[in-house]
Amino acid sequence: MKKGIHPKNYRMVVFKDMSNGYVFMTRSTASTKETVKMDDGKEYPLIKLEISNTSHPFYTGKMKLVDTAGRVDKFMNRYKDHIDKRKK
């Protein structure tokens, strides 16, 4: 590995899966403006995730649709005519 390319300012950061509320803490250099108070009484930087291993269908074995920003609706509206023709 090359020397001097890895950051040295690691700190404890809380990650929260917004789809199911799962929270975990690990070291990271990711920046954020939000913080959260944990059970130990300390405040840590908070990074919100759309999906994690506890909500991803590959890891859970459940087919759960995670629609962020209406992507599925946009797709269905865009290709509605094609979908309707196939159903006939």
For 40-79, how does the pLDDT look when each residue is reduced to its tens digit (9 = 90+)? 999 999 999 888 878 776 666 776 555 566 777 777 777 7
Tally of structural domains, the chain: 1
Q: Is residue 6 part of a domain?
A: no
Q: Is residue 82 part of a domain?
A: yes
Task: Judge if pTM exceeds 0.75.
Answer: no
> For 19, how many CA atoms within 13 A lie in the half-sphere containing its CB?
14
- When the pLDDT of each residue in the chain is averaged and rounded to a whole number, the result is 82
Q: Say yes or no to pLDDT of 87 above 60.
A: yes
Contacts of 38 (CB under 8 A, 6+ apart): 14, 25, 44
Q: Is residue 20 part of a domain?
A: yes
Q: Is residue 1 part of a domain?
A: no
CA distance 52 to 47: 12
Q: Is residue 33 part of a domain?
A: yes
Q: Is residue 2 part of a domain?
A: no
- Domain, as residue range, for 81: 11-87
Q: Is residue 74 part of a domain?
A: yes
Q: Say yes or no to pLDDT of 33 above 60.
A: yes
